[in-house]
Structure 1
Amino acid sequence: MPPAPLIVFTDLDGTLLDHDTYSHAEADPALARLKAAGVPVVLASSKTAAEIAPLRAELGFADVPAIVENGAGVLEGGADAPAAGGDYALLRAALDALPDDLRALFTGFGDMGAGGIAQATGLSPAAATLAARRRFSEPGLWAGSDTDRIAFLALLAEQGVTAREGGRFLTLSFGGTKAGRMDEIAARYDHPYRVALGDAPNDIEMLEAADLGIVVANPHRAPLPPLKGEAEGHVRRIDAPGPKGWNDAIERVITERGL
């Protein structure tokens, strides 16, 4: 891949996409400027490859790799979403091996089905069907106490399963992070200046590992705690939420970097 003047890694729901409508319209001006400047925009989300592939093409970055399922996998540039593969069946088996009382407190996408996913997320039935096409990870809703959650995660950890908290769901996988994938993809572009944007706990590692991390406001959840590098200006916060905040942040970066 050719060297890039800058590379942008971005979370989707609540960051580039509006929390309620999933629209990116308010970020379109900055997206267009990045595209014109030859800046790759890497989508980094808990969404599946099946969900991200059409969105990536709609945004005009179909040739750029995307980080899928919270970093558990990568969708290569120009590729369609694979229909099968991954270790999702093993992940579901690990869940079902838990004691019944703990297992009952977690309702994963595989338990919900497309109809339940649509109800839990507000996605259309067609979009929920794509969200159900998981290959590497299992998002779900937790209904137990903090004590039960500690026990739940400890038993899963014995099977090699890790957990990430996102804007809506607790997501389980066998590993891989947005931050780790960010390093891998940036290397393909000769290590340009890395900007990362996010709003949720599962974005923290990516935000702290970037040259510049930008926390986009999300009024639907508690603010993220102070992050490593924030006092020194390596992480900044944008007051406007969602795609409006994303656009404001990127317009400022474009000006500062002289693009």
Structure 2
Amino acid sequence: MSPMFAIPILVFTDLDGTLIDHASYDASAAGPALDALRACGGGLIMASSKTGPEIARIRDALGWVGFPAIVENGAGLLSAGEMGQGDAAQYKALRGVLDKAPQDLRQGFCGFGDMSVAEVAAVTGLAQTDAALAKQRAFSEPGLWEGTDPQLKQFLSYLAGQRVTAREGGRFLTLSFGQTKADRMADLIAEFNPAHTVALGDAPNDVEMLQAADTGVIVANPHRVALPRLPGEETSRIIRTKLPGPQGWNAAILELLLELKLR
């Protein structure tokens, strides 16, 4: 490896349905690949719609506290070692935009801020304690669209007029004032200067991140509609796993580390 590179490989990964099992929220099946990544001196950047407090717990449990994380769909960053939420000014402003929406459109969107902890637990499948962390938002608002398709178009048009973006993830429509996982990814690549970058994901909000990496991995998720064929798949710069979730994650990373002669 050339001395110009700070680390040999930097992995950016979505969590739900990718590194973490969609139903059980367990990442143990990816353990061998995570160990191999650590052994070769690589880095892991978690990139999710989850909040800082949620990701901090996962990052700590998996032993990657020395690396930052991309939180709330790219709307914010969680610094290495940081456990807190951060300034919630953007979230308050975002809720203000929602409250000023035409009533018929506003009623069609039920955000986490409109739900109790028990309701967030019910729609996410999270335990009550984890659902409480999911409500501690600083940058973005995920929610369920309960209106009609024509109303959704009007709602998205209203949001765009307020400079609010709406992105579809694995389960929710997430609103923010911009910044994507790929935007944050570019900043972190400049900081860590890796020899090779990898991105893994399963949902539409992961596509830009997959396309920005040297190697993109679409992780199979039988619980959602598969992503359409992406540019780069014809050259195998973007690949798809056969196994779902952390099993597929594990297989893809172990194979790539072999190809790069990092294990």
Q: Does the CA-based 8 Å contact 1:217-1:239 persist in structure 2?
A: yes
Q: Give me the whole-angstrom Cα distance separating, in 1, the residues matched to 2:228 and 2:138.
A: 31
Q: Give me the whole-angstrom Cα distance separating, in 2, the residues matched to 1:216 and 1:250.
A: 11
| Correspondence list, 1:28-177, <5 A | 28-82=31-85, 84-177=87-180
* Amino acid in the other structure paired with 1:224: L
User: TM-score, length-normalised on structure 2?
Assistant: 0.96
SS in 1 for 2:175: strand
* Amino acid in the other structure paired with 1:64: F
Q: Give me the whole-angstrom Cα distance separating, in 2, the residues matched to 1:191 and 1:176.
A: 22
The aligned counterpart of 1:7 is 10
Question: How far has the Cα of 1:191 moved from its partner?
Answer: 4.0
Q: Give me the whole-angstrom Cα distance separating, in 2, the residues matched to 1:82 and 1:141.
A: 23
User: Would you say 1:228 and 2:235 are equivalent positions?
Assistant: no
SS in 1 for 2:57: helix
Q: Give me the whole-angstrom Cα distance separating, in 2, the residues matched to 1:58 and 1:257.
A: 27
Q: CA RMSD in A?
A: 1.1
User: TM-score, length-normalised on structure 1?
Assistant: 0.97
* Amino acid in the other structure paired with 1:184: D
* Amino acid in the other structure paired with 1:158: G
Q: Give me the whole-angstrom Cα distance separating, in 2, the residues matched to 1:233 and 1:81.
A: 39
Q: Give me the whole-angstrom Cα distance separating, in 1, the residues matched to 2:28 and 2:64.
A: 16
The aligned counterpart of 2:23 is 20
Gaps of 5+ in 2: none
Q: Give me the whole-angstrom Cα distance separating, in 1, the residues matched to 2:26 and 2:142.
A: 22
* Amino acid in the other structure paired with 1:118: A
Q: Give me the whole-angstrom Cα distance separating, in 2, the residues matched to 1:243 and 1:75.
A: 23
Q: Does the CA-based 8 Å contact 1:109-1:117 persist in structure 2?
A: yes
The aligned counterpart of 1:252 is 255
Q: Give me the whole-angstrom Cα distance separating, in 1, the residues matched to 2:202 and 2:122.
A: 23
Q: Does the CA-based 8 Å contact 1:186-1:192 persist in structure 2?
A: no
Moved over 4 A (4+): none
Question: How far has the Cα of 1:169 moved from its partner?
Answer: 0.4
Q: Does the CA-based 8 Å contact 1:35-1:60 persist in structure 2?
A: no
Question: How far has the Cα of 1:199 moved from its partner?
Answer: 0.1
- The structure 1 residue matched to 2:215, chosen from 212, 215, 221, is 212
